[in-house]
Amino acid sequence: MTKRVLSFTVCVIALGVVALAQDEAEYQKWMKTAGATAGSLRKSLEAKNGDAASADARKLQDVFQQVHDYWNKKGVNDAMTAAMDATAQFKAVGDLASAGKFEDAGAALKKGMSTCGTCHTAHREKAADGSWKIK
């Protein structure tokens, strides 16, 4: 009986480790998407392309909703708040770009990106190989 309990416990722990690794891989994918999309958004604002800027802003809102959910599962309140703040800022960027207020949209984008920086400082660290990992 004890062997079965031990085997079951080992299996549960192994599944948890695999799930955590998958979550972190997804998280890394979201961050790469966010970076590329923010760059595209910045260019769309500079070109005064409201439709493209709005589409990028919506994509960022979706990404940061997933980021919020990730940190919610981990119970990390400051990261959840940062993700929701970023979501709100990117919504503002999209709304402003749709209204043709590109200068205001650019300011909202900078504010949203500063929210990203706050979370990065608190919740990631540079690995020896130069990559980033979640704290």
Parse the chain into domains and list their residue ranges: 23-124
Cβ atoms of 71 and 80 within 8 Å: the answer is: yes
pLDDT at 84: 95
pLDDT at 1: 53
Cβ atoms of 81 and 48 within 8 Å: the answer is: no
Indicate the CATH number of 23-124 among 1.10.3470, 1.20.120, 3.40.1400, 2.60.40.
1.20.120
pLDDT beneath 70, residues of the chain: 1-22
CA–CA distance, 94 with 88 (Å, rounded to integer):
10
CA–CA distance, 56 with 73 (Å, rounded to integer):
26
